[in-house]
Structure 1
Amino acid sequence: MSLSARVAASNESDTLLAWRDVQAQLADHPAKALIVFCSADHNLPTLGNALAQSANCPVLACTSAETTPVLRVMSLADADLNLHLFAFPAVSTGQVNAEAIIEAIADAAQTSPLGHQTLGLLLVDGLSHAEEWLAHALYTRLPNVAFLGGSAGDSFRFERTWVYWDGVFRSDVAVFGLFDLGTPFHLFQSELCADAGEPLVITLADVQRRAVLQINGLPAAEVYAAALGLREDQLSPAIWRKHPLMLKVGADQVARAISHVASDGALVCLSAVDTGLIATVGTASNTHAELVEQYSRARQAMGKVAGLLLIDCALNDHPDSLDTTDPNVPTLVLRSYGEQFNGQHLNASVAGLALGAGK
């Protein structure tokens, strides 16, 4: 048993030409599964139809936060590989039918052949605000299925994101891909921020908007700017990408990336916030070196790596391209609105999957 991975990419702005370009690059690779990430600027009905008509295997796909019309595809080939897909519809309205769907995933995982492992990849509407409950539900109900996930993006417009299901790119949906593998794999995650600054108290939050309205009883943006030695009118995407909020949640310190400052002075985040939480202003660190170190450990544990999947928070500002984590291994990167790892929805991190080549 051996796994082969190949990555193809196209910068063609014409969606059909981009797909044909990718097809040509993968023509001699007998895919058993495809993972597809594309800019939301592509013609999604055209791409959805092309995938439905010409991809002769299961497809996991979503839109990314890429700001250029790029199309990236990872093809996985292995006679013993199987990919089963499960959709969660209307995820923004709550846990409708989620229990039955997770039960179906659990049943499918139990049918895995002797000696095989199961692996999950979750792709979810990045503006549904469903990631927290969905990641937690999957993690608690599927204890024997390791998984990671990513939140779809829309080129920083924060208007609408899409996940591919049943031949169509759709909003308000999540898709869980259950891989049945006869080869090893290793999941890892790299934190991107260091805690810094004086403790602050979130005195008013809008949970539904994921918005921090007040800190220490004052407008949130004003206090956030002051903590950085700035005026509120000096805040910009470059500032909040480098300085996420760090929240104290139980015994953990978790990052909350800021997507934008609203007209009411609220800090709108990409993950859950709540009134009463203690926060500090974090500082992004150079995590590429840490990521390479974690990947190196995975490679040592598994041996030869066939492919590498990285889910990278779109608000991270890396000095190096993640594509260069291992120049000798096909690497696919999703620029996401959040990462799901160990049952949590995270920001300002990179979640990684190293796929072993096997024998």
Structure 2
Amino acid sequence: MRIFGGSGVVRDAIVPSASTAANDPNAAETLSRQLGPGPFSLIMLFLSPAADLERLPAEAARVFVDVPIVGCTTAGEISGAGYDEGTVVALALPSEFFRVDTVTIPDLMRLDPPALAAAVVRKRVAMARQYPELAHEFALLLVDGLSQKEDELTSALAAGLGAMPMLGGSAGDGTRYARTFVLDGGRLSRNAAVLALVRTECPVRVFNFDHLMPTERRMVVTEADPRRRVVRQINAEPAAHEYARLVGKDPQQLSPFTFAAHPVAVRMGTRHHVRAIRQVMDNGDLVFFSAIDEGVVLTITEPADMVGQLKRELAGLCMPERPTAILAFDCILRRLEAEEKQVIGRVSGLLRRHGVVGFSTYGEQFGPMHVNQTMTGVAIYPPGTVLPEKVPE
């Protein structure tokens, strides 16, 4: 049974979630009351940048004693109300059904991929031996969304995770792109990440989808600074001017709404993966959310029906049974597109009716890849649910 309360609380027999206003002076205590007594194996907190980031982490560590806490700042929240802003959202994994271990990556600038992969292997193997009765598993990654290290990090982690599916989101800062933080225990950090390894009695389905259709319009990156994710030239022309020409826009009027409406993507195998543009610099350079390099061929995509696609995907996740919880990481560009097209109320309503909880990101992690302009997450089902091999179309 699922009960929706006036404060954004979503109580569930298995996985409870809750939310409160970012300016709540007792936010952690409010969330604790809403979540219930536990005991819990993990607490996740998704923090609006408007929250008291100086005080809240320590308060959460005091309230949720002896429970691992992970989280990050957001570019908007997803609560029991649907799309939300100016809130703190919590989701708890009860010890009755879940076991969790965490890996802290404290300094992404000094990333050691072989050592990190080895550490993840050791923890994953230890959990499998300790909890053999828990047949389902996934890994949850939260990473600084301005670190520009997500691609290298996901590749390193995938080497250690093996067949364990990974999903995650990049921390946000609204549409300011100034400061993003990852929460690990009672501490907020920059240039950091935290990985939670989860084993559970509950069947899970990790998902990733978008609503973008590739066009015949292509362009080649001819000058770039890969370290900074900056593209200076496209088709040997100034980047912003050439991109604007190809999408039929005035280069002086480029904005996040333009980038959301006309994403560019790289083809990998049979699928296109967005390499989202974050902003245009005063000199006409384009800054990307994810890895970019010279010689890369980019395809301009056009959004299809966001509402219809979301409705179909969420309906598919409800087969053969409605999930007990859906944790989702939703790219900020999807929210901006919904605002621009004036469908944000319909999108929010779908998220609310399906009990989706999570946050708007600066990028999503799915397996070994860092991607953009997708919704990525995990659906958690009651114990004993038999899932089909493939999500129904």
Scaled by the length of structure 2, the TM-score of the pair is: 0.84
**Structure 2 counterpart of 1:69, which letter?**
G
Q: Indicate the SS of the match to 1:103.
A: helix
CA offsets 1:4-31 (integer angstroms, 9 cap, x no match): 12221122424x3333332332235553
Q: Could you tell me how far apart the structure 1 residues matched to 2:290 and 2:183 are? A: 22
**Structure 2 counterpart of 1:59, which letter?**
I
State yes or no: 1:349 paired with 2:358. no
In structure 2, what is the equivalent of residue 7 of structure 1? 17
Shift of 1:149: 0.8
Distance 1:288 1:141, change over 3 A: farther
Q: Could you tell me how far apart the structure 1 residues matched to 2:44 and 2:348 are? A: 16
Q: Could you tell me how far apart the structure 1 residues matched to 2:95 and 2:304 are? A: 38
In structure 2, what is the equivalent of residue 76 of structure 1? 93
Q: Indicate the SS of the match to 1:315.
A: helix
In structure 2, what is the equivalent of residue 172 of structure 1? 191
In structure 2, what is the equivalent of residue 60 of structure 1? 70
| Equivalent of residue 337 in structure 1, options 331, 352, 362 | 362
Shift of 1:250: 5.8
State yes or no: 1:157 paired with 2:176. yes
Shift of 1:197: 4.7
Q: Could you tell me how far apart the structure 2 residues matched to 1:53 and 1:102 are? A: 28
Q: Could you tell me how far apart the structure 2 residues matched to 1:100 and 1:187 are? A: 24
**Structure 1 counterpart of 2:50, which letter?**
D
Q: Could you tell me how far apart the structure 1 residues matched to 2:45 and 2:284 are? A: 37
**Structure 1 counterpart of 2:198, which letter?**
F
Q: Indicate the SS of the match to 1:334.
A: strand
| Equivalent of residue 283 in structure 1, options 278, 302, 309 | 302
Q: 1:106-145 residue pairs with structure 2 within 5 A? A: 106-111=124-129, 112-145=131-164
Q: Could you tell me how far apart the structure 2 residues matched to 1:53 and 1:137 are? A: 33
Shift of 1:117: 1.8
Q: Indicate the SS of the match to 1:221.
A: helix
Distance 1:335 1:326, change over 3 A: closer
Distance 1:142 1:29, change over 3 A: closer
State yes or no: 1:21 paired with 2:30. yes
Q: Is the 8 A contact 2:124 2:197 kept in 1?
A: no
Distance 1:28 1:90, change over 3 A: closer
| Equivalent of residue 108 in structure 2, options 91, 96, 102 | 91
Shift of 1:349: 0.6
Q: Is the 8 A contact 2:22 2:52 kept in 1?
A: no
CA offsets 1:121-148 (integer angstroms, 9 cap, x no match): 0001111112112212222332221120
Q: Could you tell me how far apart the structure 1 residues matched to 2:195 and 2:307 are? A: 28
In structure 1, what is the equivalent of residue 284 of structure 2? 265
| Equivalent of residue 37 in structure 1, options 21, 34, 46 | 46
Scaled by the length of structure 1, the TM-score of the pair is: 0.91
Q: Is the 8 A contact 2:204 2:381 kept in 1?
A: yes
Q: Could you tell me how far apart the structure 2 residues matched to 1:351 and 1:244 are? A: 17
Shift of 1:275: 0.4
Q: 1:180-329 residue pairs with structure 2 within 5 A? A: 180-249=199-268, 252-301=271-320, 303-316=321-334, 317-318=337-338, 319-320=343-344, 323-325=348-350, 327=352, 329=354
Number of residue equivalences: 356
Q: Could you tell me how far apart the structure 1 residues matched to 2:241 and 2:188 are? A: 39
Q: Is the 8 A contact 1:3 1:183 kept in 2?
A: no
Q: Could you tell me how far apart the structure 1 residues matched to 2:185 and 2:108 are? A: 16
Distance 1:160 1:105, change over 3 A: farther
Q: Indicate the SS of the match to 1:203.
A: strand
**Structure 1 counterpart of 2:49, which letter?**
A
Identity of aligned residues (%): 28
Q: Could you tell me how far apart the structure 1 residues matched to 2:363 and 2:297 are? A: 21
**Structure 2 counterpart of 1:89, which letter?**
P
Distance 1:132 1:63, change over 3 A: same
Shift of 1:198: 2.0
Which segment is superposed worse, 226-235 or 3-12? 3-12
Distance 1:79 1:91, change over 3 A: same
CA offsets 1:10-66 (integer angstroms, 9 cap, x no match): 22424x333333233223555332211011232212111011111132222111112
State yes or no: 1:101 paired with 2:119. yes
Shift of 1:251: 5.4
Q: Could you tell me how far apart the structure 1 residues matched to 2:70 and 2:195 are? A: 8
- Tell me, which stretches of 5 or more residues in structure 1 are unaligned? none
Q: Could you tell me how far apart the structure 1 residues matched to 2:214 and 2:161 are? A: 32
